[in-house]
Amino acid sequence: MSLRTRLALVIALLAFLPNLVLALTLGILGAGWWLPLFLWLLLLALVSGLVGYFLAQGLLRPLEELTRALAYLSLKEGPVSELRLPRPQEPPPQEIALLRDRFEELLQRLRGLMEAREAFYGALAHDLKTPLLSAIRTLAYLERADGLGKERRVELLQGLKGELAGALELLENLLALSRLEARSPARETLNLRALAEDLLLRYQEEAKRRGLALEVEGAGLARGERLLVERALANLLDNALRHARSRVRIRVAEGALAVEDDGPGLPLPLEALALPFRQGSGNRGQAGLGLYTAKRVAEAHGGRLGAEESPLGGACLRLELSPATSF
| Residue of 315, 323, 217 whose CA lies nearest to 274 | 315
Rounded-to-integer distance, Cα 124 and Cα 285, Å: 7
Tell me the C-alpha to C-alpha distance, in Å, between residue 60 and each of 8, 52, 110, 170: 11, 12, 28, 53
Question: Cα–Cα distance between 273 and 291 in angstroms, integer?
Answer: 7
Residue 193 pLDDT: 94
**Residues near 225 by beta carbon (within 8 Å), at least 6 away in sequence:** 185, 186, 187, 188, 301
Q: Which of 230, 248, 220 is nearest to 326 (CA)?
A: 220
Q: pTM of the prediction?
A: 0.63
Give 105: exposed, middle or buried? Use CB within 10 Å, 0-12, 13-18, 19+: exposed
pLDDT score of 279: 45
CA–CA separation, 124 and 80 (whole Å): 21
Residue 215 is classified by DSSP as E
Distances (CA, A) of 241 to 39, 256, 265, 266: 94, 20, 12, 13
Integer Cα distance of 155 and 138 in angstroms: 11
Q: Which domains does the chain have, with CATH numbers?
A: 3-109 (no CATH), 112-181 (1.10.287), 187-326 (3.30.565.10)
What lies within 8 Å, CB to CB, of 34 at 6+ separation is: 27
What is the identity of the amino acid at 175? L
Whole-number Å distance between alpha carbons of 304 and 34: 79
Cite the DSSP H helix spans in 76-203: 94-144, 150-182, 192-202
HSE, side-chain direction, 13 A CA sphere, residue 312: 26
With beta carbons less than 8 A apart as the criterion, state whether 138 and 159 touch: yes
Tell me, what DSSP letter sits at residue 152? H
Report pLDDT for 281: 44
Residue 260 near residue 249 (C-beta atoms within 8 A):
yes
Q: Is 305 within 8 Å of 295 (Cβ atoms)? A: yes
Query: Longest Cα pair distance anywhere in the chain, in angstroms?
Result: 125
What are the tens digits of pLDDT across the range 101-129?
A: 888 888 888 877 777 777 777 777 777 78
Collect the ranges in the chain with pLDDT lower than 50: 279-287, 327
Q: Which residues pair with 256 in a beta bridge?
A: 253, 320
What sign has the CA pseudo-torsion 188, 172, 305, 250?
positive
